[in-house]
Amino acid sequence: MIKMNIKITSPAFKDRGMIPSKYTCDGDNTSPPLNIEIDKGAETLVLIVDDPDAPMGVWDHWIVWNISPDVKNIEEDSVPQNSIQGTNSSGKSSYGGPCPPSGTHRYRFKLYALDKKLDLSSSARKSDVEREMKGHILAQAEMVGLYSRK
């Protein structure tokens, strides 16, 4: 990996902070707003949101690739123009908000800078994206949100 600064944050919650219920199955189930900071040099970005605390193994909530590195903000309930959403663990090509069966779960918002665009269809799953990314990751960043149902 070359040295490239990359950062992902959200105006809706802080890293290691609680995700507002609006962005979960208990609310509107819409994706939260995200801010991206990245040095020049990436060809494309990939965003993966998953829950490593799910009872049946890591649960994928949102997979988006071919995001332009010029994108600085992903607005609430939106997908960056010309990017592709993959198939999450619910079998949908969309955002699926946190919905833990019990306890507090961690939701990882992982951002990757790549040196090439990915040639995958929206039926691709996280494992397909990760396989295609291998050897092409220039930098990565992660933010974690927490959520527990009332």
Task: Provide the pLDDT confidence category of residue 150 given band limits of 50, 70 and 90.
Answer: confident
pLDDT over threshold 70, residue 2: no
Per-residue pLDDT reduced to its tens digit, 96-146: 999 999 999 999 999 999 999 999 999 999 999 999 999 999 999 999 999
Residue 53 pLDDT: 96
* Rounded Cα distance, 43 and 132, in Å: 14
Q: Determine the average pLDDT of the residues in 61-84.
A: 97
Q: How far apart are CA 45 and CA 118, in angstroms?
A: 10
76 has pLDDT over 80: yes
Instruction: Write the CA distances from 70 to 13, 48, 52, 99, integer angstroms.
Output: 23, 18, 29, 31
Q: What are the structural domain ranges in the chain?
A: 6-148
pTM for the model: 0.96
Per CATH, the homologous superfamily of domain 6-148 is PEBP-like (3.90.280.10)
